[in-house]
Amino acid sequence: MKKLGFHYFPDTQHYRQQDLEVWLPRLRALGASWLTLIAPSSYTIPENFLKGLRRAKIRPLVHFPFHLDRLPGKEDFRLFFQTYARWGVKDIILFNKPNTRAQWGTISWAKTDLVERFLDLYLPLAEEASKAGLRPIFPPLEQGGDYWDTSFLWAVLAGIKRRGPARLVDELTLSVDANPNDHSLGWGAGGSYRWPEARPYFTPPGSEDQRGFRIADWYLAISQAVLGKTPPVFMLNLQGDRDSEMKMLQLLAQKPPQGLESLPTQVRAGMFWLLAAEEGSKFLPQAWYKPDGETRPIVERLTQKTPQPKQKKKDHFEHYLLLPTYQGAVTDWHLEVIRGFVKKHTPTIGFSTEEAAHAKRVTVIGGESDLPETDLNKLRARGCIVQRITGSGTEIAAKLEVMSDE
């Protein structure tokens, strides 16, 4: 789907070749055309990762969500922009939710002329990106926000028109935080044209405002009023329950479900939050893919419609117990720990991740130092259900006993 995209991991730790090998097949299976990547502040996303996405016809959208009080120097940004452009990146987002106190810090936030100070930061970098051949996308704003988002956008666009080079106005592209936030997907549709009573910080009873999935309608109306044009829009942070996610997909495919209006034609892509997150991350509940192999229900729906372009995995083993070796030998300690589980379930026991890849289910005994997570991710990419068990001998035996009772 040309407009389907995802936010990648909510960190900058998954840009290795091994990560590309794990996630590229899944993105293809989902039918993704876009992937939003968080830019590190002190180095670039590796060239092979970006080019791997592009070869798969997935466009990277590089997001620079840097804190406005702690920015790299202009020369650093210039080098970032030139390098990314040379590696085939076309689109970047500068900053993140600049209408919130958290992005400025208390002291900077309290100073006067916030919008003008934001433009002092944004305009030179946007112009530098444009010179490098990139499309600088205006950052998403916090819905409502500490500085009301529609007021902030109006003031910033007026400032860009007044201060910025004409090229930046001509090339303007917006991004929006389109999280429904417990509202229906139709909340606020039509924007200020349909809901003229809505005001900053006040939505009268019986009226609707911009705080929801249809936020793009409101931002486009502001752009038309200030600049006399409606620019392209990227919808970020799409999330919801199974029903609303399916309806969002239908809307992105320009097949609106009954009762919902089509999205504005200016919408270029919608980015679902979140493709994946690590165990322990506060974002894990929203991830489409979990570290233990579990997925959100919508994944199955999408991958059924867009099969992975590779041979179907054939399971030779029902359950494989994968043990680490030390200098080519297995320890008596491991054999003793698994004794009761093996007697009861007779799984296939082995020490090879290549062999384990042919199993439906793989139970791994040992921590990261014994069997790296990158190896386990390769098993998950092959379709294995993988569970790692760590701890002392007693703890491992207890966990295996629980598995026996399931």
Closest CA to 334 of 373, 380, 372, 367: 367
Give φ, ψ of 126 to 5 degrees: -65, -40
According to DSSP, the β-strands at 348-350 and 359-365 are: unpaired
- Which residues are CB-contacts of 310 (< 8 A; sequence separation ≥ 6)? 25
Closest CA to 314 of 274, 358, 281: 358
Q: Are 58 and 96 in contact (CB under 8 A)?
A: no
Indicate the helix (H) or strand (E) that contains 132.
Answer: none
As averages over each run of 10 residues, the pLDDT of the chain (406 residues) reads 95 95 95 97 96 96 96 94 97 98 94 97 97 97 98 98 92 97 96 96 96 98 97 97 95 95 97 96 95 91 62 71 70 78 84 86 86 86 86 80 63
Give φ, ψ of 36 to 5 degrees: -85, 125
Q: Are 253 and 263 in contact (CB under 8 A)?
A: no
Alpha-carbon distances of 68 from 97, 121, 385, rounded to whole Å: 10, 8, 42
Q: Are 38 and 11 in contact (CB under 8 A)?
A: yes
Domains of the chain: 4-305 (3.20.20.80), 317-405 (3.40.50.10330)
d(CA 319, CA 75): 54
pTM here is 0.76
d(CA 126, CA 296): 37
d(CA 134, CA 50): 15
HSE-CB for 79 with a 13 A CA cutoff:
10
